[in-house]
Amino acid sequence: MKANWAPKAGIKTKAAHELREMVILTAYLYVAFGAIIFYKYAVLRGVGISSALWGLAIIKALLVAKFILLARAARIGERYQAKPLIWATLYKSVVFLAVVLILTVIEEAIVGLLHGRSISESIADIGGGTPLQLIATMVLVFFIFFPYFAVGSLGEVMGENSLRRLFFEQRREFRAVEHTGE
């Protein structure tokens, strides 16, 4: 009976960890996408257009978080793990940007087909509707992904608990030790 309990505990632990990752990533993306939507709203309101899709930020955050976690589960983006963190971070940011873009195109095409639209009509609005807006959106998403993957890479090197303590626990007084080269 104990043999049956141990795997269940492992599955429960893994499920709890994955749910925690989903919540953290969704919250991070929600704040970032919400800021972009707020900025777009402010700019458009300045020229007399006052509509904004406030609920879009949470929906996009959930979808992008789902895509990232699926790609991570497939072990995508692990190529430069032994290299300096900058390379691993840049690589993951670019690869996950491509994954999210591809999965978004596929998802929009499927949703469009379900609603009776053609594939080209469905994917035409991705990123804002024009090639320039798509490029601008991709640049913004890259700069949203970069700090997320940088912190994740630091956590892998330093240990998740160490990084969490540095960010969320009161620091005791400490003295920085300079490297003397000895």
Report the C-alpha gap between 10 and 22 in whole angstroms: 18
Q: Is residue 93 domain-shared with residue 46, that is, in the same domain?
A: no
Tell which of 61, 90, 105 closes a domain. 61
CA distance 119 to 125: 11
Closest C-alpha among 93, 76, 101 to residue 151: 93
Q: Where in the sequence is the domain holding 25, given as residue range(s)?
A: 1-61
Domain co-membership, 57 together with 94: no
Confidence of residue 5 (pLDDT cuts 50, 70, 90): very low
pLDDT digits (tens, 9 = 90+) for 56-104: 889 889 999 998 998 888 888 888 888 899 999 999 999 999 998 888 8
- Residue 67 covered by a domain: no
Domain count, the chain: 2
pTM given for the model: 0.77
Residues 101 and 151 grouped into a single domain: yes
Model pLDDT for residues 93-129, shown as the tens digit of each residue: 999 999 988 888 888 888 888 888 888 887 777 767 7
Q: Which residue has the higher pLDDT, 146 or 39?
A: 146
The answer, yes or no, to whether residue 21 has pLDDT greater than 60, is yes
Same domain, 85 and 133: yes
Residue 43 belongs to a domain: yes
Positive or negative torsion for Cα 135, 97, 142, 43: positive
